């Protein structure tokens, strides 16, 4: 195991913001994960497990501990009854596996095309897009339990999945995700629950490949793909989660929107609750696409993404995020909750 000192973390994130790691190591084998964590434990220092850095906001002072970058590799497909299991190491690139699954005619994750980052992050965030969540296909999550140093395969019911949430996210110091097993379905049509995707494929009998291509096109139009030259590429994707409210609370938001009510997107999610569009609320609160605050701003393609244009700081990005959240709350009475993970910096909504 090679430990490096003062490694800049900004270049290892899609935002390209944040200070250095005090200590840094890259692991390529499962056994090295426990070795790295034991090294940090013996020195009483915190650990950050780093994947693709696509959902991470690192403070300007960096991380005063050990950063363990996951670079484990390996994936395979195995038949299991009426489905095909995809077993993948945490360090595998997520979208490459989605592409391979689609090429094999295996459904279940085609709508999750184009999401940046590594496999290990997908159960932590319970990543979702265009009508699918990864929790729907997860059959087990392979983890290292910190403290006991046991490797375990957790079933879905032990993962505590929720909307962009999981037990791994709520208890970040308990487990390190080593790999994921997904259950995919051969020969099925694509999932078309999401209206925008369904409308784009209307009038056809789309294949999984059609759905993937359409999702990639939709994400590209919103600058939700990391494409060289795109002025909005340095982001953490959707910065805020779409709020889920009780129906009465959603009706109150609509009333506060006044004459803009007719266009307010809302989707029933069951149990008398409604999901609203955070992007719509942000724009109606006065933060149009392309809004700038010096080196940081709101994407010109999608109001839900905050972007770094270069030469900025995490402090500047968070000041904008807090301004947005505070204004939305004052205008609509809705509390926006950030989606990224914060490292070396705290989200302080009261500062907005």
Question: Each residue of 18-51: pLDDT tens digit?
Answer: 999 999 999 999 999 999 999 999 999 999 999 9
Q: How confident is the model at residue 337 (pLDDT cuts 50, 70, 90)?
A: very high
Structure confidence by residue, pLDDT tens digits, 154-188: 999 999 999 999 999 999 999 999 999 999 999 99
User: Residue 147 has what pLDDT?
Assistant: 87
- Stretch 127-152: mean pLDDT: 96
pLDDT for 351 equals 41
Average confidence score pLDDT of the chain: 94
Let me know if 164 is a catalytic residue.
Answer: yes
pLDDT of the residue at 259:
58
Q: Choose, from 238, 277, 284, 299, the residue flagged as catalytic.
A: 238
CA distance 316 to 182: 39
Annotated catalytic residue 212:
no
Tokens 């004459």 correspond to: 259
DSSP reduced 3-state for 83: strand
Which tokens hold the place of 347? Answer: 């989200």
b/e per residue 263-286 (b: at least 16 CB within 10 A): ebebeeeeeeebbbbbbbbbbbbe
Contact 253, 333 (CB under 8 A): yes
- What is the pLDDT, as a whole number, of residue 204? 81
State pLDDT tens for residues 277-311: 999 999 999 999 999 999 999 999 999 999 999 99
Query: How far is it, in rounded angstroms, from Cα 322 to Cα 342?
Result: 14
User: Any idea which residue has 């899609």 for tokens?
Assistant: 14
What secondary structure letter does DSSP report for 289?
Answer: T
The dihedral built from the CA positions of residue 326, 330, 305 and 241, taken in this order, carries a sign that is: positive
Q: What does the pLDDT look like over 45-98, one tens digit per residue? A: 999 999 999 999 999 999 999 999 999 999 999 999 899 999 999 999 999 999
How much is the pLDDT for 263? 75
| Number of other CB atoms surrounding residue 4 within 10 Å | 11
**Shortest CA distance to 182 belongs to which of 97, 71, 103?**
97
The CATH label, of 3.40.980.10, 3.30.465.10, 3.30.360.10, 3.40.50.720, for the domain at 75-221 is 3.30.465.10
Instruction: Tokens for 167, please give them.
Output: 């037990």
- Strand stretches in 207-339, DSSP E: 235-238, 244-246, 266-270, 273-276, 292-293, 296-298, 305-308
pLDDT recorded at residue 352: 39
Per-residue buried b or exposed e for 213-248, using 16+ beta carbons within 10 Å of the residue's own CB: bbbbebbeebbbbbeeebebbbbbbbbbbbbbbeee
The domain locations on the chain are 4-70, 75-221, 235-351
Which is catalytic among the residues 16, 83, 133, 339?
339
Q: What is the pTM of this model?
A: 0.91
| Spatial distance between the Cα atoms of 237 and 305, rounded to a whole number of angstroms | 5
Q: Which CATH number fits domain 4-70: 3.40.50.970, 3.40.50.300, 3.30.43.10, 3.10.20.600?
A: 3.30.43.10
Residues in the chain: 352
pLDDT in tens, 264-282: 899 898 889 999 999 999 9
Is 19 within 8 Å of 9 (Cβ atoms)? yes
Q: Are 266 and 276 spatial neighbours (Cβ–Cβ below 8 Å)?
A: yes
**Phi, then psi, of 70 in degrees rounded to 5:** -80, 120
* 339 noted as active-site residue: yes
pLDDT band at residue 203 using 50, 70 and 90 as cut-offs: confident
C-alpha R_g of the chain: 20
How far lies 290's CA from each of 65, 154, 307, 308, in Å?
36, 43, 9, 12
In order of 30, 79, 169, 209, the CA distances from 69 in angstroms are 12, 31, 17, 32
User: Which residues touch 286 (CB under 8 Å, ≥6 apart)?
Assistant: 327, 331
The pLDDT of residue 189 is above 80: yes
Q: What is the pLDDT of residue 262?
A: 57
For residue 348, name the pLDDT band (cuts at 50, 70, 90).
confident
Which of 2.60.120.620, 3.90.78.10, 3.40.50.1700, 1.20.140.10 would CATH assign to domain 235-351? Answer: 3.90.78.10
- Chain centroid to Cα 96, Å, comes to 16
- With a pLDDT cut of 90, the percent of the chain lying above it is 88
Q: Which of 142, 164, 212, 233 is catalytic?
A: 164
What is the share, in percent, of the chain residues with pLDDT greater than 70? Answer: 98
């Amino acid at each position: 195991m090679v430990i490096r000192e003062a490694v800049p973390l900004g270049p290892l994130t899609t935002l390209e913001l944040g200070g250095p790691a005090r200590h840094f190591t890259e692991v390529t084998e499962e056994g090295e994960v426990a070795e790295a964590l034991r090294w940090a434990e013996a020195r009483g220092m915190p650990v950050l497990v780093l994947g693709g850095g696509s959902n991470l906001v690192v403070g300007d002072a960096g991380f005063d501990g050990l950063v363990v970058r996951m670079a484990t590799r390996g994936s395979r497909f195995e038949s299991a009854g009426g489905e095909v299991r995809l077993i993948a190491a945490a360090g595998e690139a997520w979208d490459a596996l989605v592409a391979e699954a689609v090429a094999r005619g295996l459904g279940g994750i085609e709508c999750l095309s184009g999401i940046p980052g590594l496999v290990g992050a997908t159960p932590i965030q319970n990543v979702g897009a265009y009508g699918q969540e990864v929790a729907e296909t997860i059959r087990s999550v392979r983890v290292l339990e910190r403290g006991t140093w046991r490797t375990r395969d957790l079933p879905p019911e032990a993962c505590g999945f929720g909307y962009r949430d999981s037990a791994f996210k709520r208890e970040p110091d308990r487990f390190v995700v080593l790999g994921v097993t997904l259950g995919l379905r051969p020969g099925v049509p694509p999932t078309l629950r999401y209206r925008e995707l369904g409308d784009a494929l209307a009038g056809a009998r789309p294949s999984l490949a059609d759905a993937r291509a359409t999702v990639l096109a939709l994400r590209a139009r919103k600058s939700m793909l990391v494409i060289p030259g795109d002025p909005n590429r340095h982001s953490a994707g959707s910065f805020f989660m779409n709020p889920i409210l009780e129906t009465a609370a959603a009706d109150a938001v609509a009333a506060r929107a006044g004459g803009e009510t007719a266009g307010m997107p809302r989707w029933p999610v069951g149990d008398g609750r409604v999901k609203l569009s955070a992007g719509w609320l942000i724009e109606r609160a006065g933060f149009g696409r392309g809004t700038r605050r010096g080196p940081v701003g709101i994407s010109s393609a999608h109001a839900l993404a905050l972007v770094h244009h270069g030469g900025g700081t995490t402090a500047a990005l968070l000041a904008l995020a807090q301004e947005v959240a505070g204004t939305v709350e004052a205008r609509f009475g809705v509390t926006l909750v950030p989606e990224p993970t914060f490292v070396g910096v705290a989200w302080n909504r009261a500062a907005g």
